[in-house]
């Protein structure tokens, strides 16, 4: 099965207290999805169920992301989530708290 990419969207999400990488990742995915309005279905032989959606995330601690929770943010298609090192952690001045910034790329492909 050869896939052809049709859509690329980017997003950023932040958890401002508590270093919650999943919360930041979900917000990054939501941000990317809100930038999309896919209007090509009416003129193609494709539906939302034909989409292959790859979510690529960059966070400071990839192992701390709940991939299934992030996957649930995507309402359509066959979803794959890949988490890698990236993003940004910013410690609070006290050192006992901090914020997490996650970056997301949403890649939508269809079978040729």
pLDDT, tens only, 83-97: 999 999 999 998 899
Distance CA 87, CA 60 (A): 6
Alpha carbon 19 to its chain centroid, in Å, reads 17
* Higher per-residue pLDDT: 110 or 43: 110
The pLDDT of residue 87 is: 97
What residue segments make up the domains of the chain, in order of their start? 3-111
The pLDDT of residue 1 is: 75
The pLDDT of residue 80 is: 98
The pLDDT of residue 74 is: 96
* Mean pLDDT across the chain: 94
CA distances from 100 to 13, 66, 86 (A): 8, 15, 11
Q: Is 7 exposed, middle or buried (0-12, 13-18, 19+ CB in 10 A)?
A: middle
CATH number for the segment(s) 3-111: 3.30.1330.20
Q: pTM for this one?
A: 0.92
* Higher per-residue pLDDT: 29 or 1: 29
Closest among 36, 23, 28 to 77, alpha carbons compared: 36
pLDDT, tens only, 46-85: 999 999 999 999 999 999 999 999 999 999 999 999 999 9
39 falls in which pLDDT band (50, 70, 90)? confident
Contacts of 42 (CB under 8 A, 6+ apart): none
Distance CA 21, CA 44 (A): 37
Render the burial of 68-79: b for 16+ CB within 10 Å, e for the rest: eebeebbeebeb
């Amino acid at each position: 099965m050869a896939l052809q990419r049709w859509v690329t969207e980017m997003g950023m999400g932040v958890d401002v207290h508590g270093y919650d990488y999943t919360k930041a990742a979900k917000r990054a995915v939501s941000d990317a999805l809100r930038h999309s309005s896919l209007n090509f279905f009416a003129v193609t032989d494709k539906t939302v169920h034909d989409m292959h959606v790859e979510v690529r995330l960059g966070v400071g601690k990839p192992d701390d992301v709940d991939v299934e929770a992030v996957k649930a943010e995507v309402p359509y298609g066959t979803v794959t989530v890949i988490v890698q090192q990236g993003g940004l952690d910013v410690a609070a001045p006290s050192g006992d708290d901090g914020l997490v910034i996650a970056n997301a790329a949403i890649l939508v492909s269809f079978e040729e």
